[in-house]
């Protein structure tokens, strides 16, 4: 097993009509053993900005803490909310600073721009190369399965409740074909004035 | 069950990543008053990918003898096929149903003599008229040990305590089925290499009755 597969996990984010959704599994495991079923990898970092940090669990926590630190300083100095594209650039910089001894995280970003309300999703590799597609992003130990599910289920301009169903089915069915992802799921749907957090019931094996 | 896969990110110099080959499975056999109950999960993995989520790891050797397979899927299937052949032949020569002990001995011959090439952990379980319900554990390496209750596979590590605390000799058939179901469910909850459905078999003088317990019908335990 590789270092990125030591703890396991899966995160996916999708764009919809004036909304975005991001979903994570809740497993915390050490190789094949499941230690906890309450370890979501997605954190809220701004009023309409979420980041998913699948990979090595210790780095999930550390990168989140360092990210929050940089975000807080930015918001204090600039006196405004950070836009998703800027956050993406900041995270990319944080990861590339560790180019030759990287954090074992392949992050996913999802948010709505606070100024023009455009949906934004982004993912990157462990040294910060960003990818900003128009549809969906995936990361974790079941990316092959996730790509298959997303490619089949996603269509443009899904409304929030449709997007919720689509992203939930994509995550759950992909994780059910991965021995080290799953054991519960959390889905966030982000709209202009509303954020819904739903804990999805999944197989616990 | 595990099949080998090449992982492009592996670094062979880092010893903690060369963890021992996982016998990804949870299997169990339990004596009751009148026969044996056997059970297994249904997951086959290729690395972390679940190649088959509805595998049948309970394999028929004769009408009254089954085996629970853990370890390499290829190795255990090949061994079971060879044992079935030998036992069929032996049954014809003997003129009556073969003993469970004989099946276990043939498994042992293969698993011991080819121990350097095989990765196979097998539970041989069945009923014969000489000794009734019996379970013989043939773990990796090829020893044989008769036991009243036996567990195997990577998922078994998590349930030794539960089995020791809850097994009682001379259970009824229904109690034994519940016990096996609960044990395997707990193993599947913790072990990433085990999961899917619980397949059960009840072997007695009457023969074998097979059943399946699907994921949503499994008993509910604390999932914190």
pLDDT of residue B12: 53
Is B25 a residue of the active site?
yes
Q: Is the pLDDT of residue A5 over 70?
A: yes
Residues of A in contact with B154 (CB under 8 A): 32
Q: Do A180 and B192 touch (CB under 8 A)?
A: yes
**Residue ranges for chain B with pLDDT beneath 70:** 1-23
Q: Which of A32, A177, A203 sits opposite B154 (nearest CB)?
A: A32
Residues of B in contact with A1 (CB under 8 A): 7, 10, 17, 19, 47-48
Q: Do B50 and A178 touch (CB under 8 A)?
A: yes
Distance of alpha carbon B131 from its chain centroid, rounded? 21
Token duo for residue A49: 């900005």
Q: Is the pLDDT of residue A152 over 50?
A: yes
Angle between helices B100-113 and B73-94 (to 10 degrees): 140
For residues A154-170, average pLDDT: 98
pTM of the entire structure?
A: 0.88
Q: Residue A17's pLDDT band (boundaries 50, 70, 90)?
A: very high
pLDDT of residue B3: 52
Residue A140 to residue A125: CA distance in whole angstroms: 11
- B216 in helix, strand or coil? helix
**Under a CB-based contact definition with an 8 Å cutoff, are residues A156 and A16 in contact?**
no
Contacts of A173 (CB under 8 A, 6+ apart): A145, A149
* Ranges assigned E (strand) in chain B: 2-3, 27-32, 35-40, 44-46, 49-52, 58-62, 65-71, 120-128, 132-138, 145-146, 149-152, 198-204, 207-213
Token duo for residue A166: 């689509």
Token duo for residue B186: 């707990």
Q: Do A205 and B195 touch (CB under 8 A)?
A: yes
Could you tell me which chain B residue has the CA closest to the CA of A36? B224
Q: Do A203 and B191 touch (CB under 8 A)?
A: no
Residue A167 to residue A15: CA distance in whole angstroms: 10
Q: Do B10 and A38 touch (CB under 8 A)?
A: no
pLDDT of residue B9: 46
Question: Could you tell me how many CB contacts below 8 A there are between chain A and chain B?
Answer: 76
Could you tell me which chain A residue has the CA closest to the CA of B6? A1
**How many Å lie between the alpha carbon of A104 and the closest alpha carbon of chain B?**
12
Q: Is the pLDDT of residue A176 over 60?
A: yes
Biggest CA–CA distance in chain B, Å, is 57
Q: What is the pLDDT of residues B36-61, one digit of tens each?
A: 999 999 999 988 999 999 999 999 99
Q: What is the pLDDT of residues A94-142, one digit of tens each?
A: 999 999 999 999 999 999 999 999 999 999 999 999 999 999 999 999 9
pLDDT of residue B21: 40
pLDDT of residue B2: 61
Q: What is the pLDDT of residues A44-89, one digit of tens each?
A: 999 999 999 999 999 999 999 999 999 999 999 999 999 999 999 9
> Which of A4, A29, A32 would best serve as a mutation to test chain B binding (most B beta carbons within 10 A)?
A32
Q: Does B188 touch chain A (CB under 8 A)?
A: yes
Biggest CA–CA distance in chain A, Å, is 47
Could you tell me which chain B residue has the CA closest to the CA of A144? B49
**Under a CB-based contact definition with an 8 Å cutoff, are residues B147 and B51 in contact?**
no
Residue B86 to residue B114: CA distance in whole angstroms: 17
**How many Å lie between the alpha carbon of A195 and the closest alpha carbon of chain B?**
25
Task: Please report, for residues A35, B44, B158, the alpha-carbon distance to residue A32 in angstroms, rounded to integers and kept in the order given.
Answer: 10, 13, 11
- ipTM, 2 decimals? 0.87
Q: Does B195 touch chain A (CB under 8 A)?
A: yes
Catalytic annotation, pick one of B25, B59, B76, B181? B25
């Amino acid at each position: 097993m590789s270092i990125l597969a030591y703890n396991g996990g899966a995160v996916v984010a999708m764009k919809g009509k004036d909304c975005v959704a991001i979903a994570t599994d809740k497993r915390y495991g050490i190789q094949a053993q499941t230690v906890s079923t309450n370890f979501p990898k997605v954190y809220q970092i701004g009023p309409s900005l979420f980041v998913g940090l699948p990979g090595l669990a210790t780095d999930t926590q550390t990168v989140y803490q360092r990210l929050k630190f940089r975000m807080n300083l930015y918001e204090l100095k600039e006196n405004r909310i950070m836009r998703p594209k800027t956050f993406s650039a900041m995270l990319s910089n944080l990861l590339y600073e560790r180019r030759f001894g990287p954090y074992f995280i392949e992050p996913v970003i999802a948010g709505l721009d606070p100024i023009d309300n455009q949906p934004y999703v982004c993912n990157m590799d462990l040294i910060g190369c960003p990818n900003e597609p128009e549809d969906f992003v995936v990361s974790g130990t079941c990316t092959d399965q996730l790509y298959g599910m997303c490619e089949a289920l996603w269509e443009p301009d899904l409304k929030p409740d449709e997007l919720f169903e689509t992203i939930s089915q994509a995550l759950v069915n992909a994780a059910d074909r991965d021995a080290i992802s799953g054991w519960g799921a959390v889905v966030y749907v982000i709209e202009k004035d509303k954020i819904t957090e739903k804990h999805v019931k999944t197989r616990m094996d | 069950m595990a099949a080998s896969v090449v992982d492009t990110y592996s670094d062979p110099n880092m010893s903690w990543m060369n963890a021992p080959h996982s016998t990804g499975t949870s299997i169990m056999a339990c004596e009751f008053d009148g026969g044996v109950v056997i059970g297994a999960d249904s997951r086959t993995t290729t690395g972390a990918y679940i190649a088959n989520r509805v595998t049948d790891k309970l394999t028929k050797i004769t009408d009254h003898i089954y085996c629970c397979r853990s370890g390499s899927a290829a190795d255990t299937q090949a061994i079971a096929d060879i044992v079935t052949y030998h036992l069929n032949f032996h049954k014809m020569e003997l003129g009556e149903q073969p003993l469970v002990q004989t099946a276990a001995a043939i498994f042992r011959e293969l698993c011991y003599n080819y121990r350097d090439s095989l990765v196979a952990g097998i539970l041989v379980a069945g009923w014969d008229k000489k000794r009734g319900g019996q379970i013989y554990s043939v773990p990796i390496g090829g020893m044989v040990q008769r036991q009243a209750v036996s567990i195997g596979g990577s998922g078994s590590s998590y349930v030794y305590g539960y089995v020791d605390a809850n097994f009682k000799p001379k259970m009824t058939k229904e109690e034994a089925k519940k016990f096996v179901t609960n044990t395997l469910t707990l193993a599947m909850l913790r072990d990433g290499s085990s999961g899917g459905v619980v397949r059960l078999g009840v072997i007695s003088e009457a023969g074998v009755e097979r059943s399946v317990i699907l994921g949503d019908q499994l008993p509910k335990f604390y999932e914190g």
